Structure 1
Amino acid sequence: MASLVAYEDSDTEDESTTQEGTIHQNSESDFGAENSLGQHGAIEFGPTDPHESSLSPQGGGQDGQESRSLWEFCYSPWIQPDGTQDGVAVVRSLPQTAQGSSCVGPPKRPLKETPMTGIRPYVPKRQRLSQQVAASSEGDIQGDGSVISGTGSRLLTEVSEIISPFLRRKSTGTELPRRVRLRVQAHQGPVNTVQWCPVPHFSHLLLSASMDLTAKVWDGAGSGWCLFTSSAHSGAVRDASWMPCGRRFLTGSFDNSAIVTDVETGQVVVKVGNQFKVTCLTVQPSDPNIFLCGGFSPEVKAWDIRTCKVVRSYQAGIQQTLDILFLPGGKEFVTSSDSVSRDSADRTLIAWDFQTTAKVSNQIFHERYTCPSMALHPQGDEFVAQTNGNYMALFSARRPYRMNKRKRYEGHRVEGYAVGCEFSADGTVLLSGSSSGSLHFYDQQSSRQLRLLHAHQQACVCASMHPVLPAVMASCDWGGELCIWH
């Protein structure tokens, strides 16, 4: 046995070089040039049967093709990284097999460690996502300064640096904006609504819905870039609203559907189908899993997003629901319709009981004007209704919902547009758009006009004041333009 061992170890340098070169040649012909021994270092082969000589890649016989496939399967190299060198992964040479083994062993002289240029180091998923967002922010900047991205970014989850200083500051009153800070051609069609996120920590986010079939989320308080575009609808997006959590939003469209979308992932969470075109929707204040949906139908439906089923239905003798407004506590709500006939006093504004689906009051507004939008006072004791009579009427939010005939907010024009209205965070200022493109600010107590801003060239259909930042406001018009004021 000693002589046999000595005989095996007595290979000359020329024979070893020849044997190594033969192995290199077979590896390159069978596995490809990229898997050669010279590139990957030492290779450890799996165990083989000493009686099956046909496993050799050059083995002959009738089973030549099958033997070749089996050879490639059994003798594929195993790569084991052994740290890094100059930022490049390095492969550790495996130990040689025991002498006398039936396995086909590697060359007796292990090759030097070579850097694996084809292997990239592992990058965590969170870091990859942040790099993708940074790349999209640099490469997808539009001519108007907006950025279109398909997934959420850190701006959707972290508190904006602009918002942070004002979160703990007490409000000292409502400050009115004076000039435009940013003007963007946000959509290719009329913008129906804009709304700031109601959660203070995410209030830098601005939601817009348009007739161009899309809804967008903007960094309204910061860069003004578009962070996310939702194209889930096949029809015009008539209305949009944030969910109370601030991470999802609800949209209603003329394609007879209402969709809940997650802002961070960009995925559709819930999609429900109606038998009518959706024109208005709102979330139930006490139960965020329920929302009301109305449109070109005499029926208003209450949907549960957990089961995607209608839990309640409210029937009225009308043709279209223009707007829905929940009253304080969420136990009752008011709907406005398009009924304008002489005997339509019992259908223009209707108060409903949410639980029983019964009409609480239908003698609220007795004038022959439709009310395209409504807004609730922050204190919850009053609400206003925008009318096509070019004024806003004030109503009590408690039964029997009487109209205040002494206060009427006039000076703007509606002229058939669905012009929106809104109270400031403290309820002292009432804001309204106008079909002439201007913005009007009214004192809530005296109904006196405080300021007039010439905002847009086309009809200004919606405006919203920021819930945290003073003197910051967003407005939109019928031409697809979006403006941020300060």
Structure 2
Amino acid sequence: MDQLISEYASTSEDSDDQAILKRSKQDKASTQITKRPKIDLAPEVNLADQRLSDAVYTRPTDTEITFNIPYEDLSQPVTGPSNPFSTRVMNQNVLTGHVEEQSYSEIAFKTQQRTFASFGYARDPTLLENVTGGSEFVGDVQRAIEMNGATIYDPVPKKNGPARLPKGDPAVLEGANAYQGPWAGYHGESIGTPVGPPEGAIRTRAEPAQQSKNQVEVGQETTTFHGQSEYDYQGRTYMHVPLDLDVNLLSEPGTQECFIPKRCIHTWSGHTKGVSAIRLFPNSAHLLLSCSLDSKIKIWDVYHDRRCLRTYIGHNKAVRDVCFSRDGRRFLSASYDKYIKLWDTETGQCIKAFTTGKLPYVVKFNPDEDKQNIFLAGCSDKKIVQFDINTGEVTQEYDQHLGAVNTITFVDENRRFVTTSDDKTLRAWEFDIPVVIKYIAEPHMHSMPAVTLHPNKKWLACQSLDNQIVVYGAKDRFRLHRKKRFTGHLVAGYACQVNFSPDGRFIMSGDSEGNMCYWDWKTCKLLKKYKTHEMVVIGCEWHPHETSKVVTCSWDGLIKLWD
């Protein structure tokens, strides 16, 4: 029995060993026949710059970094996936579209900017070669090649200038070969040669200067009436408010709803040069006063024949500003001949002339009925001067500004007034007290050469020279209203007047391209913009009783009526 078991076991083990040996031989044969290629999933990469493999990349939106980053890595460009063939519309992050962020350090930009201002060329910021010139510079490429692309921080090749004079012999003190040393000049210099007008051309003090034929002295002012008769059949002049119209010119302004005008219905052309300011007659607005760069002032009829009624001639240079009195019977004119003159509106007589020896930029009557003998003038010597018409003397000076005064606006029931200046500040004053009660000067502020009070007497609209209209409160605090900001026009460099509709719903302004812009006061949305003049629209007035009539003036010498 044991023998049978042992034989059985040995027989089975032998057969298993043979099967395993046979299977191994078959596997070896198969591996020799089919060889698989070796695949390396992580090939070796030879980097040109070993620092790139050690750089630590961060996201531009990170606000905290928990480890120290080298300066070179901080100035690395912003990288990331980009798909130029994407059809998805990009978000508009500027007014004209989408601006992509570029890697251009501040010091590199300042260097190229100053290089362009000094030498006239700079490196192309796109870092791409131009198709036509094939140069990496913009501006004066020829000079860039001559200077080998040097910036303001690089040594500039010296030019071959005039030859230096010989230093002379140290032993000779005077004469032809005298010692000059380091003080020797250059050939062609004119140092020591007297200069000036030739003899005989200098006018002696006793000889009087010849007066120009058009020169107007104080007291020699003239006026011209252009109508057929100064009086009508009832003995009334053009100062009388017409009653034969469809509109009531004696009503309260702002009681009717206003609308934006659409077309020009009349053009006044009488000035030979640009018109600098226009003013409608107080309360009734049936007359229009204009001053021009041709040194003349004219008054026009807004209704009936719409012609020029009278011309006031009394200034030697361009007239900058005009201002009616409360009843309109008199007006002030400020000119570049340094004179402020008071005129009678009806007769054209010059009543008085005032001057401080400085240029008056703005004049303003005190709106109070019992103070119509007082007016303020902002001058080029940084002062606001207060005149008394009865005595002709200066009764007060407000001297706090650091630049020429541009505007004067009365607020708070005429107890205070606000002034703006070229020093980019806004200051509020108590009337007749030369102390500033509010001083506003921010780094982001620009000069504001035109200011208008809202019909509700609560807000001041200021034309800022960074192409926007900003709004300040007209009450005690005079704070900036950050939600009121009107943009869409170009006024940089021009004192374009701002104005409101009588009901306060719209605000309007001209711009430097001859356009008129109208915004909604509540939403600050630009409602309409259209071409009105060929040159800058410097002034605009909304008729107080008409719902959609606006008068504009421009430096093209024209005054237009829109409806």
Under TM normalisation by the shorter chain, which class is it?
Answer: 0.5 to 0.7
Query: In 1, distance between residues paired with 2:226 and 2:468?
Result: 49
Offset of residue 366 of structure 1: 4.5
Offset of residue 185 of structure 1: 2.4
Query: In 2, distance between residues paired with 1:189 and 1:196?
Result: 20
| Aligned partner (choices 192, 208, 215) of residue 290 of structure 2 | 208
Partner of 1:402: 479
Query: In 2, distance between residues paired with 1:400 and 1:391?
Result: 22
Q: Is residue 254 of structure 1 aligned with residue 336 of structure 2? A: yes
Query: In 2, distance between residues paired with 1:482 and 1:405?
Result: 34
Query: In 2, distance between residues paired with 1:288 and 1:463?
Result: 25
Deviations 1:146-185 (A, max 9, x none): xxxxxx9732224253375454488331122111011232
Q: Pairwise mapping of residues 289-304 of structure 1 onto structure 2 (< 5 A)? A: 289-304=373-388
Partner of 2:245: 162
Letter in 2 for 1:194: I
Ranges of 4+ aligned residues in structure 1 off by more than 6 Å: none
Please say if residues 133 and 153 of structure 1, whose CA atoms lie closer than 8 Å, have aligned partners that are also in contact. Answer: no
Which structure 2 segments of 5+ residues have no match? 1-224
Q: Is residue 196 of structure 1 aligned with residue 280 of structure 2? A: yes
Offset of residue 365 of structure 1: 5.0
| Aligned partner (choices 169, 172, 187) of residue 271 of structure 2 | 187
Deviations 1:409-431 (A, max 9, x none): 11111020111101121222111
TM-score (norm 1): 0.65
| Aligned partner (choices 379, 393, 398) of residue 456 of structure 2 | 379
Offset of residue 258 of structure 1: 1.0
Higher RCO by CA contacts (8 Å cutoff, separation 6 or greater): 1
Q: Pairwise mapping of residues 465-484 of structure 1 onto structure 2 (< 5 A)? A: 465-484=542-561
Q: Is residue 218 of structure 1 aligned with residue 290 of structure 2? A: no
Question: Mean alpha-carbon deviation: is it higher for 348-357 or for 384-393?
Answer: 348-357
Query: In 2, distance between residues paired with 1:378 and 1:459?
Result: 26
Distance 1:163 1:416, change over 3 A: farther
Q: Pairwise mapping of residues 130-149 of structure 1 onto structure 2 (< 5 A)? A: 133-134=227-228
Q: Pairwise mapping of residues 95-174 of structure 1 onto structure 2 (< 5 A)? A: 133-134=227-228, 154-159=237-242, 161-162=244-245, 165=248, 167-168=250-251, 171-174=255-258
Query: In 2, distance between residues paired with 1:195 and 1:267?
Result: 19
Q: Is residue 339 of structure 1 aligned with residue 416 of structure 2? A: no
Letter in 1 for 2:384: V
- % identity of equivalent residues: 28
Please say if residues 187 and 481 of structure 1, whose CA atoms lie closer than 8 Å, have aligned partners that are also in contact. Answer: yes
Which structure 1 segments of 5+ residues have no match? 1-130, 138-151, 341-347
Offset of residue 186 of structure 1: 3.0
Q: Pairwise mapping of residues 235-314 of structure 1 onto structure 2 (< 5 A)? A: 235-286=317-368, 287-314=371-398
Query: In 2, distance between residues paired with 1:246 and 1:389?
Result: 35
Deviations 1:247-270 (A, max 9, x none): 221111111111111111110122
Distance 1:135 1:404, change over 3 A: closer
Letter in 1 for 2:382: P
Please say if residues 163 and 468 of structure 1, whose CA atoms lie closer than 8 Å, have aligned partners that are also in contact. Answer: no
Partner of 1:435: 512
Please say if residues 162 and 222 of structure 1, whose CA atoms lie closer than 8 Å, have aligned partners that are also in contact. Answer: no
Query: In 2, distance between residues paired with 1:161 and 1:483?
Result: 23
Aligned residues: 333
What is the CA RMSD across the aligned residues, in angstroms? Answer: 2.2
Offset of residue 240 of structure 1: 0.6
Partner of 2:529: 452
Query: In 2, distance between residues paired with 1:365 and 1:326?
Result: 22
Offset of residue 217 of structure 1: 0.6
Query: In 2, distance between residues paired with 1:311 and 1:469?
Result: 39
TM-score (norm 2): 0.56
Distance 1:454 1:197, change over 3 A: same
Query: In 2, distance between residues paired with 1:427 and 1:317?
Result: 31
Distance 1:381 1:234, change over 3 A: same
Query: In 1, distance between residues paired with 2:423 and 2:385?
Result: 19
Distance 1:173 1:158, change over 3 A: closer
